[in-house]
Amino acid sequence: MGTATATAPWKQLLLNALESNSHLKHSSYLQLATIGSNGRPSNRTVVFRGFEENSDKIQIHTDRRSRKIEELRHCPFAEICWYFTDSWEQFRINGRVEVIDEMNPDSLKREQREKAWFSCSMRSRLQYLGPSPGVPRLNEDFPAEASVDPSTGPVGAFCLLVLEPDQVDYLNLKSNQRLEFTFTRTAGKEKCWTSERINP
C-alpha cells in the first residue's frame, strides 16, 4: 500500500546519493532523454545544476541552439536518469521541462536565468560564444579566443531548463529495493506525492 505526503520524499534520497558519491566527479552528470520531432528518442549527458530554490524542480543549463530545445518545444516531456556507481542507486525522473531563454516574458524567470548564468564558471560561459552545436564544421581552424565580461549578463545562446518531476523511479541495487513516487494534485489542488514499494 502506498503512502502520501506533500513534500517530495525522493528528494532527500537523491540529496543523500549526491552527497555520498560527491567524491566522484561524474556524480553530477545525468542523462536527459527527449522525444525528437521524428518520434524517436534522443538522449544525451548533461550536468545537474541544482534544485530551483525551495522546490523539487531540477535545473540544467544548455545552449539555446542545441537540438534538445527544438525537441522540448515540440514535446515538453522528458526523463532524466542518474546512476551512482559507489552506492549502486538509480534515479529515473519523469516530468515536464520549461525552457527559459532571453525571450521569456516572465521577469522572474528571466531573473532566474540570470542567476543561473552568474553561477557558471567563466569556462562554462565561454562555451555559449562558440559556433552553433550540431552543425557541420566549415573549416578546421579554431575560432579566435572568445572572451566574456564577468559582470555582463547571459548571452543569447544561454538557456535554463527546469524539469518539474511528476514520477520518480528509485532503485537501490545494494538493498534490492525499488520505490515508485508519483505526483498528483488533490481535489483542493494541493500537491501530493505518493510512494509505493515495487519489485526491483
The predicted-structure confidence for 8-65, as pLDDT tens digits, reads as follows 999 999 999 999 999 999 999 999 999 998 999 999 999 999 999 999 999 999 999 9
Q: Say what the pTM is.
A: 0.90
Q: What percent of the chain has pLDDT over 70?
A: 93
Split into its structural domains, the chain has a count of 1
CB atoms within 10 A of CB 122: 9
φ, ψ for residue 122 (rounded to 5)? Answer: -60, -35
Q: Is residue 195 part of a domain?
A: no
Q: How far is CA 80 from the centre of its chain?
A: 7
Q: Is residue 3 part of a domain?
A: no
What range defines the domain where residue 26 resides?
9-138+148-175
Q: Is residue 50 part of a domain?
A: yes
pLDDT at 1 over 60: no
Q: Is residue 82 part of a domain?
A: yes
Q: Is residue 186 part of a domain?
A: no
Query: Distance (Å, rounded) from C-alpha 97 to C-alpha 92?
Result: 15
Identify whether the C-beta of residue 95 lies closer than 8 Å to the C-beta of residue 59.
no
Q: Is residue 34 part of a domain?
A: yes
Q: Is residue 1 part of a domain?
A: no
Which CATH number fits the domain that encloses residue 91?
Answer: 2.30.110.10
Q: Is residue 77 part of a domain?
A: yes
